[in-house]
Amino acid sequence: MNKHILFTGGGSAGHVTVNTALIPHFEKEGWKVTYIGSEDGIEKEIITDQFPHIPYESISSGKLRRYFSWRNFTDPFRVMKGVLDALTIIRKTKPDIIFSKGGFVSVPVVMAAKLAKVPVAIHESDVTPGLANKLAVPFATKIFTTFPETVETLPKEKALCAGAIIREELFSGDPQEGKRLTGYYEEKPVLLIMGGSLGARKINESVRENLDELLQSFQIVHICGKGNIEEGYKQKGYRQYEFIKGELPHYLAMTDFVISRAGSNSIFEFLALKKPMLLIPLSREASRGDQILNANSFEKHGYAMKLEEEELNPESFIKKVKELTENKEMYISNMKNGEKAYTIQDMYRELSSMSR
């Protein structure tokens, strides 16, 4: 009889990426796969688009807020209903193991798994666990971390640093195909700019304010987020995209330098591909500060250069880009000599050994 793994995680693309990297390998090994997510979250769109054959089960979930909102009084009841929803699904599908990538929807699933006595593995991408994963830790069997620093904040008997789980298709990119897609055949290096799944207004503005100077040195691929394309900037060597899906490996293969937010999944992908990067993390005002800690860790290890959003202006931006290009070889050398992360095969072995 085939084994069965149930995946959960959602609320942002980052809470789904690791799952979409692992699912094909488990399917290849003959496992049955089920996904639990919310009814209207981004995870439903991603999973049903990429894996339409996989059963997708929706549950009730409430948002866990660190600020006052009247919904804080009603959402605990939504979480409780989510636990009952998840428990019903778990008892019906009988998974051998549950893998949670975090996000609010995962909390009821992990709690229900404990009640159903199903082993649960959590994966934490950031230096400090998010609120959802903090709540889930007592119910987890094992917690895999991306950053070595994170292990020190978790129960020692449960925590293991596995590094990032990188999608295998990222290594199959063809730089010639990237050049064909963009029409970039000059000898100038390619600069890829990513502001996250929704783009980043301040990064987009800094790029465009410095565009003439940047184009003297680079050919630019600018992933600027949905609704953020500016039609007035149609210049040779500058291509704008709201987002790039299946062809991203080709664009990355031809990329020489990256400017990006500091979401864990993305920056570890750039690290795996040995791309020198300038990280501009989300500010503390716009987040819980996890991207700043991620960027600090990469800067400390010599993998990346950091520029905080509060210090971002046209002058500081162009200065940092120049420093990045001048120190290219140092960053590549540091990335090559860094600690090796778990492969998807390693993670598969770990999870298989945990299954009941």
pLDDT of residue 300: 94
Q: Where are the domains of the chain?
A: 4-165+341-354, 169-336
Average pLDDT over residues 1-14: 89
Q: How confident is the model at residue 68 (pLDDT cuts 50, 70, 90)?
A: low
pTM of the model: 0.82
pLDDT of residue 190: 98
- The answer to whether residues 342 and 349 touch, using CB atoms and an 8 Å cutoff, is no
Total length of the chain: 356
Per residue in 186-209, pLDDT (tens digit) is 889 999 999 765 557 889 989 999
Q: Give me the pLDDT at residue 64, please.
A: 58
Q: What is the CATH number of domain 4-165+341-354?
A: 3.40.50.2000
- The predicted-structure confidence for 244-299, as pLDDT tens digits, reads as follows 888 999 999 999 999 999 988 889 999 999 999 999 998 876 667 889 999 999 99
pLDDT the model gives residue 286: 61
Asked if domains 4-165+341-354 and 169-336 share a fold, the reply is yes
Q: Is the pLDDT of residue 32 over 70?
A: yes
- Percent of the chain topping pLDDT 90: 66
Q: How far, in Å, CA of 354 to CA of 119, rounded?
A: 7
Q: Structurally, what CATH architecture does the domain formed by 169-336 represent?
A: 3-Layer(aba) Sandwich (3.40)
AA identity, residue 279: L
